[in-house]
Amino acid sequence: MEHTEFGRTLRRLRDHVAPEAVGVVAGSRRRATGLRREELAALAGISADYLTRLEQGRATSPSAQVVEALARSLRVADAERELLFRLAGHAVPGADVVPSRIPPSVQRLLDRLADTPVAVLDAAGTILVANAPYDALMGPVGALRGHERNTAWRHLVGPGSRAVHTDADQRAFEASVVAALRMTVARYPLDRALGQLVRDLRAASPRFVALWESGDAAPTRESGRRKVVEHPAVGRITLDCDTLQIATDDLTVLAYTAEPGTEDADRLALAIVLGTQSLVG
């Protein structure tokens, strides 16, 4: 890797991105014109210390996943994305890798849903990006590292989510998640990161092993379903969770809404306000 040039390019791109352009809430006492290191690190799902070492040329081997996350978080054009991959010593990901790039058309859609909790997941069920209302509702995605962003890992190995499930619903949900992951592996058998995720899940979760080896049928695709979220500040909120499949890019968009004029709508609005205030603070 051209260490100095990669870090210099990364720093240049970061300095020229307005916080508002990538969904970062800028406080009134802000001095930096571009993104702060900790802000870009949170967006990309890496530590601020690691980003510092990358920019200074002290970290020498960023993975393709890290480079993609940085390019996506900075919303760079295709040419600059390719440059970052080349400087990091990687080929630009091809059709045999789970897509993790968010195209401009999808990004415009997300920007227009700025007041709605929205997250984008790749075909493996890994959260690529989430907006501030989603962080306020479900917890900050930027605090999640590596496998923690993956749905199967979070529910079968990690602490789960704020969504409330009955035991039966939880079992059905886990089976659906594993079945979806199996289908993704079938579509991208050469993706090494995906293969590593499956191996790590097998090593960490007997439940995953049982579901994986059961060969259960493919998951049921639901365009929308009700979900109860246990929010730490406002209590339980009943929401509609709608999914939009971006077939050409193999992405899933999740959006959470409440029926207008209901107590759930009021609780959701309060959760978003409280979360946004904590981000600004």
Identify which has the larger pLDDT, 249 or 27. Answer: 249
What would the two tokens of residue 24 be?
Answer: 């970062």
Average pLDDT over residues 26-46: 81
Let me know: does 72 contact 42? Beta carbons within 8 Å: no
| 196-220 confidence digits (pLDDT tens) | 999 999 999 999 999 999 877 666 6
Is pLDDT at 1 greater than 50 in this prediction?
A: no
Instruction: Please write the tens of the pLDDT for every residue from 62-80.
Output: 998 899 999 999 999 889 9
> Cα–chain-centroid distance for residue 59?
23
How far from each other are the two terminal CA atoms of the chain, in whole angstroms? 38
pLDDT of residue 99 exceeding 90:
yes
Locate 96 and state its tokens: 């045999």
pLDDT tens, residue by residue, 100-119: 999 888 988 888 998 999 99
- Alpha-carbon span 58 to 79, nearest angstrom: 25
Average pLDDT over the chain reads 89
The model's pLDDT over 227-265, given as tens digits with 9 standing for 90+, comes to 999 999 999 999 999 999 998 999 999 999 999 999 999
Q: What angle do CA 79, 90, 43 make, to 5 degrees?
A: 70
**pLDDT > 80? residue 188:** yes
What pLDDT, on the 0 to 100 scale, is given for residue 281?
Answer: 46
- For 158, other C-beta atoms within 10 Å of its C-beta total 17
Pairwise CA distance, residues 49 & 4, whole Å: 17
